[in-house]
Amino acid sequence: MQDQLNLTGQILIAMPGIGDSRFEHSVILICAHGDDGAMGLMINRHAGQVTLGALCDQLSIDVPRKMAERAVHSGGPVERERGFVLHSSEYKGSVSTLPISDELSMTATLDILEDIAEGRGPARSMMMLGYCGWAPGQLEAELGENGWLIGDPTQELIFDRENAQKWGMSMTAQGINPLLLSPAAGRA
């Protein structure tokens, strides 16, 4: 993928008028981007009323009460039953951990949930169900249609902010006042 755009480790911020209600006001961390397409996790939507405790109960993993109420996020509309943990990169407990950046990694195996439940997990984490996926060239086409703004993620944005704040905070970090944006996309 030489000389091509590689957005691994960047966030996509949905522009008004993106044209797909599933992604309105979404912020997506790109976990992998290459010749085969792209994969990302939406960081600002809950997966309904699903909690970490309820999910771990289904997997026969005991979770401390203080962790049980943590919300599970919707990583995206693809394979909504598939679980992912987005986490700080100091955690190296699984051979299947995918480094995303110097600060962030993703793990999709049960051992990370067991480690979290036993207090051996990453310092910061977010459980996701589902992901966002793009076929080869699809994301680049959406960028060309002004559907997304590209930004740099921070652990503060991902792990410390309320979901409702993340889109506006991401826009503001790019120097954009979201109240001044038109919902119509186009080119000048």
Q: Which stretches does DSSP call E strand in 102-185?
A: 104-107, 125-134, 148-151
How far is residue 159's CA from residue 182's CA, in Å, rounded to a whole number? 29
Domain ranges of the chain: 11-180
- Output the pLDDT for position 92: 84
What percent of the chain lies above the pLDDT cut of 90?
73
DSSP 10: -
- Ranking 42-56, 63-77, 91-105, 171-185 by mean pLDDT, the lowest is 171-185
The mean pLDDT value of the chain amounts to: 91
- Output the pLDDT for position 138: 96
Q: Is pLDDT of 181 > 80?
A: no
User: Which pLDDT band, with edges at 50, 70 and 90, does 1 fall under?
Assistant: very low
Please provide the CATH number assigned to the domain covering 11-180.
Answer: 3.40.1740.10
